[in-house]
């Protein structure tokens, strides 16, 4: 066996080492700078990334949360037009114009109306309220001897038509922004196209920033040595308005760019443009900033956004560039020039023909009347806020964009405000000593007790002191109808019953009280209806003494007086102190004949999603029967027929209504209550310093009521009486039912069982 022999080593011999030249100083420096630059960039990117992460959180939390703190909106009741109601053609036309309807050749489009010499047609808007969705409808209105006739297009008569509730104001609670929130579906297509064409043509292509726009702005700014031009897209404008301050620095601009990219990364174009439509600032209205195209449309044109014309959209878009500079209320010529510039852009882009451009550019700027202002509804909004404060906190009302539906009647409110200002001015003019005369008025729906109008002062502007709620004054003779009701309710008295009107003397704990009639004369034996109609003090106190002063006090409380008082004899002549609102509540059971006893203000509250949050139902707890209340109301009709309200009856000879005047000691207060088929109205006039005046209830407050009633197309009280009451002709000098041929008779309402049992034919022997 042979062994393998070891082989010779194969290791190579060492070769000669290659020489590498040392890098130059410049190359070593660059390499060092690059190495440390990368290191510092990595370290520096950490806070930058944290900053971007923080900005991302800001973008998402604001955009997905409550973007805006929008105050609650307050709406009127719908105007219900009833077939057969008294209406004048001009009054209906005025109402349609006030509520934003435009008159043209036809009424095919929603929000449009047309008129001929005898008829008015209108395409009434749809709306949502606490009762549900109400469809839009075309109706034709004609006027038959002053009575409204409502028909559909097919000629069928319609019982009623409704004009949608009007926004009468906001509950701010410290909020200083005015908005109306749109969804993407609400945005009119023409407005969207005009906005993008003028403000950001590449909106649907870019990622939130426009590099060409930024480059162009940089060149201009560097050329002029200052920041004269921005390169903002609509997304950047939205970021600037929603998230950032108005300072103009490069740091803020960088923040704007990054947030715009983040916004575009998270949200769709539709969501971004919708937010822009709601956020854009368009005007400053006193302490309130006007944001969003929807709110601007209502403010400047008095109509919903989807009912505007192309030139009106162009005006609003033109204001984006400079809301103060191009405000059409302040600078109409400048605003028109800017509007036409926007129209020119549309023409140059082929969106308008030359002829359309020329036609639109010639259109004048037609702005809405600012009648629906705080000065008209401010006092009513006080009442709304007062009621809601029991169920909603101030922050919710100021920020959650709730929709509050009330019972205010825009026609009644307008008529009441105008009547108060006009008649107080006339009284001051007729007697300079009345300078500074103030007033308040409360108008309720006669049947359901909803407050239809409320006026807290006689001035043109809202003063902050609401006398309808805060002026607590003696009510004078307005206490008499409840007092007579108290007597009628006993069943021992009727309107025909007789009482003696003579001097009386009362000793109350050593205090002597001797009441007097206003005329300082006595009238002997009189009927109850006559004593009340002519406001005889002595007869009234005598009646109160017979039935018991405590009984009268109980009646006042049962009718709704919640303010504590002691029933002294002087209370029978109106020493009781109440506010006009409290007086209105006192009379509501009588006016409604028992259908309502409480006054209603807010009907319901809904949220942004049309969900009902709270419905307000009125209580109706009346201690008296419908019959006795109706008999009392019927007796009040004698005041305009033969008593202290004859001046009102002379103005309305064919109107069947009830009334009561009131004047306090030294004529410091002038009161009037008037009740028609539609409204129960309480009016007070007086001086804040409680000084004597030269007016009475008849010569003062009654004039305000006459003015108001002339402008609301009044309806008469119904002749019918409820079960348990009936009306009879009765001889004046003998308690017998009188035949038609009898001369000296009077028509009076009685509770069943209290009417005369005997009758007469008035045949006279020859």
138 and 156 in contact (C-beta within 8 Å)?
no
Look up tokens 């002062």; give the residue. 457
Domain boundary among 308, 333, 361: 361
Using alpha carbons, list the distances in angstroms from residue 325 to 245, 283, 295, 329.
Answer: 20, 10, 19, 11
| Whether residue 197 is found in the same domain as residue 295 | yes
pLDDT digits (tens, 9 = 90+) for 236-288: 888 788 776 666 666 767 777 877 787 788 888 898 899 889 889 898 877 77
pLDDT digits (tens, 9 = 90+) for 1-24: 333 434 333 434 444 444 445 556
How far is the C-alpha of 57 from the C-alpha of 278, rounded, in Å?
A: 22
| Whether residue 116 is found in the same domain as residue 143 | yes
Binned at pLDDT 50, 70 and 90, residue 115 comes out as very high
Residue 200: which residues within 8 A CB-CB, separation 6 or more? Answer: 210, 233, 234
| Whether residue 157 is found in the same domain as residue 238 | no
225 lies in a domain?
Answer: yes
User: Above 90 in pLDDT, residue 578?
Assistant: yes
Q: What is the pLDDT of residue 369?
A: 76
Domain boundary among 311, 342, 361: 361
Binned at pLDDT 50, 70 and 90, residue 32 comes out as low
| Whether residue 208 is found in the same domain as residue 88 | no
- Selected residue with higher pLDDT from 209 and 525: 525
Question: Looking at residues 474-479, what average pLDDT do you find?
Answer: 96
* Catalytic-role residue among 98, 164, 199, 530: 199
Q: What is the pLDDT of residue 107?
A: 87
Helix-then-strand count for the chain, H and E: 24, 32
Reply yes or no on whether 666 is catalytic. no
Q: Structural domain tally of the chain?
A: 4
Q: What is the pLDDT of residue 106?
A: 87
Q: What are phi and psi of 68, to 5 degrees?
A: -135, 145
Q: What is the pLDDT of residue 235?
A: 83
643 lies in a domain?
Answer: no
259 lies in a domain?
Answer: yes
| Whether residue 247 is found in the same domain as residue 126 | no
The CATH number covering residue 551 comes to 3.40.710.10
Q: What is the pLDDT of residue 144?
A: 92
User: Above 50 in pLDDT, residue 466?
Assistant: yes
Question: Looking at residues 329-355, what average pLDDT do you find?
Answer: 93
Q: What is the pLDDT of residue 746?
A: 96
129 lies in a domain?
Answer: yes
607 and 613 in contact (C-beta within 8 Å)?
yes
40 lies in a domain?
Answer: no
699 lies in a domain?
Answer: no
Query: Which letter does DSSP use for residue 114 in this model?
Result: E
* Catalytic-role residue among 72, 76, 288, 477: 477
| Whether residue 268 is found in the same domain as residue 329 | yes
Question: Looking at residues 321-333, what average pLDDT do you find?
Answer: 92
The CATH number covering residue 123 comes to 3.30.2060.10
User: Above 60 in pLDDT, residue 148?
Assistant: yes
Domain boundary among 508, 543, 575: 575
Reply yes or no on whether 477 is catalytic. yes
Q: What is the pLDDT of residue 258?
A: 77
pLDDT digits (tens, 9 = 90+) for 441-460: 999 999 999 999 999 999 87
Q: Which domain holds residue 133?
A: 78-164
For 30-94, the three-class secondary structure string (H helix, E strand, C coil) is: HHHHHHHHHHHHHHHHHHHHHHHHHHHHHHHHHHHCCCCCECEEEECCCEEEECCCECCHHHHHH
Q: What is the pLDDT of residue 336?
A: 94
Question: Looking at residues 678-702, what average pLDDT do you find?
Answer: 96
Residue 754: CA count within 13 A, CB half-sphere: 22
How far is the C-alpha of 28 from the C-alpha of 533, rounded, in Å?
A: 115
User: Above 60 in pLDDT, residue 661?
Assistant: yes
| Whether residue 153 is found in the same domain as residue 252 | no
pLDDT digits (tens, 9 = 90+) for 45-97: 677 667 666 666 666 666 776 566 677 889 999 999 999 999 999 999 999 99
Q: What is the pLDDT of residue 716?
A: 96
| Whether residue 155 is found in the same domain as residue 277 | no
| Whether residue 350 is found in the same domain as residue 240 | yes
Question: Looking at residues 34-38, what average pLDDT do you find?
Answer: 54
Q: What is the pLDDT of residue 14?
A: 44
| Whether residue 238 is found in the same domain as residue 290 | yes
pLDDT digits (tens, 9 = 90+) for 587-641: 999 999 999 999 999 999 998 888 999 999 887 888 899 999 999 999 999 999 9
71 and 398 in contact (C-beta within 8 Å)?
yes
Q: What is the pLDDT of residue 457?
A: 92
| Whether residue 207 is found in the same domain as residue 347 | yes
- Selected residue with higher pLDDT from 93 and 373: 93
Q: What is the pLDDT of residue 446?
A: 97
Q: What is the pLDDT of residue 248?
A: 64
| Whether residue 160 is found in the same domain as residue 205 | no
User: Above 80 in pLDDT, residue 37?
Assistant: no
90 lies in a domain?
Answer: yes
């Amino acid at each position: 066996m042979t062994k393998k022999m070891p082989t010779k080593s194969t290791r190579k011999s060492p070769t000669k080492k290659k020489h590498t030249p040392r890098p130059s100083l410049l190359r070593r420096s660059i390499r060092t700078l690059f190495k440390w630059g990368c290191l510092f960039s990595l370290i520096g990117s950490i806070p930058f990334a944290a900053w971007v992460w923080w900005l991302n959180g800001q973008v998402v939390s604001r955009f997905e949360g409550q973007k805006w703190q929008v105050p609650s909106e307050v709406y009127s009741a719908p105007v219900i037009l009833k077939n057969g109601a008294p209406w004048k053609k001009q009054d209906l036309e005025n109402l349609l114009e006030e509520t934003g309807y435009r008159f043209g050749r036809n009424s095919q489009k929603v929000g449009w109306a047309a008129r001929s010499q005898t008829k008015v047609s209108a395409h009434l808007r749809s709306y949502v309220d606490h009762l549900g969705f109400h469809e839009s409808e075309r109706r034709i209105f004609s006027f038959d001897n002053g009575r409204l006739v409502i028909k559909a297009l097919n000629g069928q008569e319609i019982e009623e038509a409704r004009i949608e509730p009007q926004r009468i104001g906001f509950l701010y609670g410290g909020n200083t922004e005015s908005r109306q929130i749109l969804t993407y579906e609400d945005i009119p297509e023409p407005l969207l196209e005009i906005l993008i064409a003028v403000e950001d043509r590449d909106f649907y292509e870019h990622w939130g920033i426009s590099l060409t726009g930024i480059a162009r702005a940089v060149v201009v700014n560097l050329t002029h040595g200052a920041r004269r031009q921005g390169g903002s897209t609509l997304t950047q404008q939205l970021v600037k308005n929603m998230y950032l301050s108005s300072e103009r620095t490069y740091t803020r601009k960088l923040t704007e760019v990054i947030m715009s990219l983040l916004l575009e990364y998270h949200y769709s174009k539709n969501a971004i443009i919708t937010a822009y439509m709601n956020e854009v600032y368009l005007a400053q209205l006193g302490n309130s900033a006007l944001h969003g195209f929807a709110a601007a449309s209502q403010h400047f044109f008095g109509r919903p956004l989807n009912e505007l014309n192309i030139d009106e959209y162009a005006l609003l878009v033109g204001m984006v560039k400079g809301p103060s500079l191009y405000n059409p209320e302040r600078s109409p010529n400048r605003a028109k020039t800017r509007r036409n510039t926007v129209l020119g852009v549309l023409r140059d882009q082929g969106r308008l023909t030359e002829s359309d451009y020329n036609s639109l550019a010639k259109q004048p700027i037609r702005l809405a009347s600012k009648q629906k202002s705080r000065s008209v509804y401010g006092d009513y909004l006080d009442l709304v806020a007062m009621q809601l404060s029991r169920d909603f906190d101030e922050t919710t009302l100021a920020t959650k964009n709730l929709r509050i539906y009330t019972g205010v009647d825009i026609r009644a409110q307008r008529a009441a405000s105008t009547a108060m200002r006009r008649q107080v001015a006339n009284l001051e003019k007729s007697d300079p000593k009345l300078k500074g005369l103030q007033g308040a008025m409360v108008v309720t729906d006669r049947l359901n007790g909803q407050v239809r109008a409320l006026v807290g002062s006689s001035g043109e502007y809202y003063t902050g002191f609401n006398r309808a709620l805060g002026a607590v004054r003696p009510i004078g003779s307005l206490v008499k109808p409840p007092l007579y009701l108290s007597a009628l309710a006993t069943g021992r008295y009727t309107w025909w019953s007789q009482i003696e009107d003579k001097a009386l003397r009362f000793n109350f704990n050593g205090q002597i009280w001797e009441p007097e009639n206003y005329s300082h004369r006595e009238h002997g034996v009189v009927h109850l209806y006559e004593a009340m109609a002519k406001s005889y003090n002595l007869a009234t106190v005598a009646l109160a003494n017979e039935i018991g002063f405590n009984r009268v006090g109980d009646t006042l409380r049962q009718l709704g007086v919640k303010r504590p008082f002691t029933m002294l004899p002087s209370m029978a002549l109106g020493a009781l102190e109440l506010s006009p609102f409290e007086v209105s509540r006192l009379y509501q059971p009588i006016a409604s004949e028992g259908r309502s006893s409480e006054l209603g203000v807010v009907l319901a509250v809904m949220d942004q999603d049309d969900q009902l949050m709270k419905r307000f139902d009125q209580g109706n707890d009346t201690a008296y029967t419908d019959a006795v209340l109706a008999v009392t109301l019927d007796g009040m009709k004698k005041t305009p027929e033969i008593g202290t309200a004859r001046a009102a009856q002379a103005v309305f000879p064919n109107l069947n209504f009830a009334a009561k005047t009131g004047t306090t000691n030294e004529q410091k207060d002038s009161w009037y209550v008037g009740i028609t088929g539609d409204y129960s109205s309480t009016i007070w006039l007086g001086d804040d310093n409680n000084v004597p005046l030269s007016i009475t209830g008849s010569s003062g407050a009654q004039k305000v009521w006459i003015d108001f009633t002339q402008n609301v197309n009044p309806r008469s009280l119904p002749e019918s009486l409820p079960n348990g009451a009936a009306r009879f002709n009765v001889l004046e000098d003998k308690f017998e039912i009188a035949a038609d041929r009898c001369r000296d008779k009077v028509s009076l309402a009685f509770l069943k069982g209290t009417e005369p049992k005997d009758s007469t034919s008035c045949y006279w022997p020859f």
